[in-house]
Structure 1
Amino acid sequence: MPISIPGQFKKAAAFINNLKPMTKRQEIPDSTQAGLYLVMQPSGALSWAVRTKIDGKASKVTIGRYDEVGSGDHRIGTLISPTQALNVTQARGIAERVRNDAKRGNDPRHQKVNKTGIAAWFDDFIKAARTTGFKGRAVKASTADEYERIIATNIKPHWTHVTDIRTLDYRDVEKLLDKLTPGARRNAFAVLSAFFRWKPIARAIGHNIIELADAPAKPESRSRVLLHDEIKAVWKAAEKCGYPFGPMVQLLMLTGQRRDEIAELKWNEIADETITLEASRTKNSRPHAVPLTPLAKVIIEALPKIVDADGEPSEYVFTTTATTPFSGFSNGKKALDKHCGEPALPEWHLHDLRRTCATELAKLGVKQEVTEAILNHKTGKVSGVAAIYNRYDYQEEKRDALVQWANRIQAITADNVRILKKSA
């Protein structure tokens, strides 16, 4: 007689915890509920299944995955999903309902009521972000784009098995976060916080599961600044990468702007030797003008004009599709690092180019308020009452500072050129 799961809850949990996977799949019957089996895969994965007759034929219905604690969802028992978390008591309750439905001639597998795939929920969430928003107005287009990118790259691939949003709990969130890098972890948690607070989701699930999940620790503030040899390596590697990622990296280095502000640059934002960004395109929601140095203009003038399938020119400066801005940062960075050669540069991010620009401007003697104007920082040396009344944009000072920085880059990247320190 095969060994079965004990009837008492605590003994049953202890029994299951002591099970060891074997080379073949195991089905362990429950001693209390007829037809209920705990299925253990060779990998150690545990799930619940009910064996019964449906329309006179022997059938197996997977009702969930084993979890010692189980789900706190009050709707457990009203739906059947292979992904929901069930403890022993919950599995026995659902198994009884499945067998009773089968006896009445109802196929329990077709009673997955009000099931909505998670991909559809995420699509509606992005649509809402772009239209009605969550606080009475639509979010910035760049924010909605970032939501969409994070969902597509860091969330959806790990939740492809989720066919019903109601089966998720906080442990699913924590397991997803554990699979991501520290930076991606924070981004995914921020998006999921907004997602699970969204009213349609809150109504569908009945509570905010993100509140029970442990928030990722705040990453340490980065201080990485590229050395001159590293600046040269990155610049030369960017030349080898070619369009669109290579020249985009060079403009990031020359201008000190944020990654997406350059990656999403449009042709109509370039005029009169200046990049002009509307408030909706900047992180602090303030319009921003970036003077273009002669070197930056040379790079931009050499860029190809991409056209769409109808032969119409793309509005984006950096694009691979003609209809959307460049977004392949991961692959682009890998190619860039490869072209940097051996030994590999110590870990660095594209955002470090912005910090490097600010540091080098300080070395050149550029005033802090001018550097902050170049970076479009909201706070800094000019603050308080002075910030309210001082509306000077430092445009000429910004241009002069960036010309000095471009000259410094040319000296750094030129072969057999050594930069001498200023004499006293």
Structure 2
Amino acid sequence: MAAKLTSTNWTSLKLPADGPADRFVSDEMTTGLYLRLRRSADGKTSGSWVFRYRPALKEQKRKSAPITIKIGDRKVISLKDARGEAERLGAVVANGGDPRSEGQRSKVEAAKRVLGRLADAYLADMNARGIVNADSIYRTILNNCRTWMARDIVNISRSEWTGLANGVGADARQRLHRFLGFVVEDGHLDANPLTVAHGRRKSRVERLEEQKRRGQLELGGVSGRVLSNAELQAIWKVTNSRDPFHLITRFQMLTGCRRGEAAALRYEWDQGDWVLLPATVTKAGRDHRIFVTPELRSVLGPHQPGRIGLVFPSLRGPRINMHLDEVPVSGWSQLHGRLMTQSGVKSWSSHCLRKTCITRLRETGESRESVRSFVGQKVGLDRLDDSYDLRDFSQEQRRIAQLWAEMVSGAVSGEHRSPIKLVATR
């Protein structure tokens, strides 16, 4: 058998039947590169590329024992590639380093890039930044990537990410895109695999025409619409259970709150006569007080001082992230689509309940400021007003809450009443 590796014999080298069962054959060109040949029990020879070196022992005069690092199988890695890797490892040794430490560091870095660990890091980052729906975003990632949790994110191809994104809704796709953006910022990926080249940007006229075709546009070019009394009645009728999504819908109908604010509601914020939504969950970024009318109390349930947790938790409960005691409602598109089918009311979103509340109250002659304070919008018309106008709107909020509850009750009962505006007493 040849004593040296060459570019012509490396594929055909075998161990003789009467010789040793394990032998290292050195390369004629690259120092430290060997082809390790082993003979199995059935007489077949297998070959693998290895790099052998002696680490420097500064405190000892004797030479250290040679260390062997496997590069790969002869059937998978060519002589040219094996030489390239051996030269790289040889450079590490020449510079006083130890390839073993480098390999350990590589394993540590790979462990940091495991998708499951990155998802946990993303959750911690969102919580530190005060993202209100951090747990919901975290669950979206886990639910859609559960088979990839143990994979190195570097080894997940762009086509796999694209295939995943094409099979989920717009909200989940946006959350995955932002998660990958976090991974890029953290230095684990060079580019976001879900970032694609955008086509020609649509003009405002084209966007409005598209919304009009979908039934999402009303007069005046404003997206969404105001629901009629008959439509409110139909929606109220089919949300007559204690299902969390039904309760959230009725809560929105009675308060004009946003969907996310209703879903985040906790028992700790129920003060009896008032519900306090903290600034951390409101879009306006400020505390919002809601007066509890008898109609709203029937939705919230009895006041339970000392109780903690979500008022409207999901019925599915914790599944993957078992460290959470409860899970907020999610899957809005499916839930809302089912509600539209059951109620027979088409082409509306949950935000239409807020628009309906504001529009109907304004039609009764209520002032803009009073209505804004009731639904939790910023009261001031500009930044100066919003910063320095510190008036207490509690009496107005109580009065309008009672007024709107009466209007909703009249609509859902079929009594189309038009309440007369009352004069607030201060």
TM-score by length of 2: 0.59
Q: Which amino acid aligns with 2:196?
A: A
**Pairing partner for 2:328 from 318, 326, 341:** 326
**Pairing partner for 2:169 from 171, 174, 181:** 181
Asked if 1:156 is matched to 2:145, the reply is yes
Q: What residue number does 1:213 align with?
A: 196
Q: What residue number does 1:373 align with?
A: 373
Q: What residue number does 1:235 align with?
A: 236
Aligned equivalents of 2:260, 2:406: Cα separation in 1? 25
Asked if structure 1 preserves the Cα contact closer than 8 Å seen for 2:268 and 2:307, the reply is: no
Report how far residue 122 of structure 1 moved.
1.1
Q: Which amino acid aligns with 1:144?
A: A
Pairing of 1:84-99 with structure 2 (within 5 A): 96=78
Deviates more, 1:249-258 or 1:359-368: 359-368
Cα 1:279–1:119 change in 2 (3 A) is same
Cα-to-partner distance string for 1:305-349 (whole Å, 9 max, x where unaligned)? 8xxxxxx95533223459325324446435534532xxx321333
Cα 1:187–1:214 change in 2 (3 A) is farther
Aligned equivalents of 2:124, 2:79: Cα separation in 1? 38
Q: Which amino acid aligns with 2:145?
A: K
Report how far residue 184 of structure 1 moved.
4.1
Q: Which amino acid aligns with 2:401?
A: L
Q: What residue number does 1:226 align with?
A: 227
Report how far residue 391 of structure 1 moved.
0.9
Cα-to-partner distance string for 1:394-424 (whole Å, 9 max, x where unaligned)? 2211222222211111111114x344698xx
* SS of aligned partner of 2:275: strand
Asked if 1:397 is matched to 2:396, the reply is yes
Q: Which runs of 4+ in 1 moved over 6 A?
A: 97-101, 215-221
Asked if 1:118 is matched to 2:118, the reply is no
* SS of aligned partner of 2:289: strand
* SS of aligned partner of 2:391: coil
Aligned equivalents of 1:243, 1:280: Cα separation in 2? 26
Q: Which amino acid aligns with 1:315?
A: G
Q: What residue number does 1:49 align with?
A: none
Report how far residue 147 of structure 1 moved.
2.6
Cα 1:295–1:194 change in 2 (3 A) is same
Pairing of 1:9-408 with structure 2 (within 5 A): 96=78, 114=110, 116-130=113-127, 138-153=128-143, 155-156=144-145, 160=148, 163-168=151-156, 173-197=161-185, 199=186, 202=187, 204-205=188-189, 207-209=190-192, 213-214=196-197, 222-239=223-240, 241-301=241-301, 314-319=308-313, 320=315, 321=317, 323-330=325-332, 332-333=335-336, 335-340=338-343, 344-378=344-378, 382-408=381-407
Report how far residue 252 of structure 1 moved.
1.4
Cα 1:182–1:299 change in 2 (3 A) is closer
Cα-to-partner distance string for 1:280-300 (whole Å, 9 max, x where unaligned)? 222333112112222112332
Asked if structure 1 preserves the Cα contact closer than 8 Å seen for 2:266 and 2:311, the reply is: yes
Report how far residue 166 of structure 1 moved.
1.0
Cα 1:233–1:168 change in 2 (3 A) is same
Report how far residue 372 of structure 1 moved.
2.0
* SS of aligned partner of 1:276: strand
* SS of aligned partner of 2:284: coil
Aligned equivalents of 1:98, 1:327: Cα separation in 2? 57
Cα 1:323–1:183 change in 2 (3 A) is closer
Report how far residue 383 of structure 1 moved.
1.3
TM-score by length of 1: 0.59
* SS of aligned partner of 1:142: coil
Q: Which amino acid aligns with 1:147?
A: I
Aligned equivalents of 2:251, 2:268: Cα separation in 1? 17
Cα 1:293–1:420 change in 2 (3 A) is closer
Cα 1:263–1:54 change in 2 (3 A) is farther
What RMSD over aligned residues (CA atoms) do the two structures have, in Å? 4.4
Asked if structure 2 preserves the Cα contact closer than 8 Å seen for 1:171 and 1:213, the reply is: no
Q: Which amino acid aligns with 1:164?
A: D
How many equivalent pairs are there? 308
What percentage of aligned pairs have identical amino acids?
A: 20
Cα 1:127–1:182 change in 2 (3 A) is closer
Aligned equivalents of 1:420, 1:373: Cα separation in 2? 21
Cα 1:399–1:175 change in 2 (3 A) is same
Cα-to-partner distance string for 1:139-161 (whole Å, 9 max, x where unaligned)? 215142243143235x526x749
Aligned equivalents of 1:263, 1:97: Cα separation in 2? 61
Aligned equivalents of 1:57, 1:397: Cα separation in 2? 89
Aligned equivalents of 1:97, 1:126: Cα separation in 2? 45
Report how far residue 215 of structure 1 moved.
6.4
* SS of aligned partner of 1:280: coil
Cα-to-partner distance string for 1:163-214 (whole Å, 9 max, x where unaligned)? 22113465555444433334444444334323432x2xx1x33x23369534
Report how far residue 99 of structure 1 moved.
9.6
Asked if structure 1 preserves the Cα contact closer than 8 Å seen for 2:136 and 2:328, the reply is: no
Q: Which amino acid aligns with 1:278?
A: P
Report how far residue 368 of structure 1 moved.
1.5
Aligned equivalents of 1:359, 1:98: Cα separation in 2? 75
Aligned equivalents of 1:226, 1:411: Cα separation in 2? 14
Asked if structure 1 preserves the Cα contact closer than 8 Å seen for 2:267 and 2:309, the reply is: yes
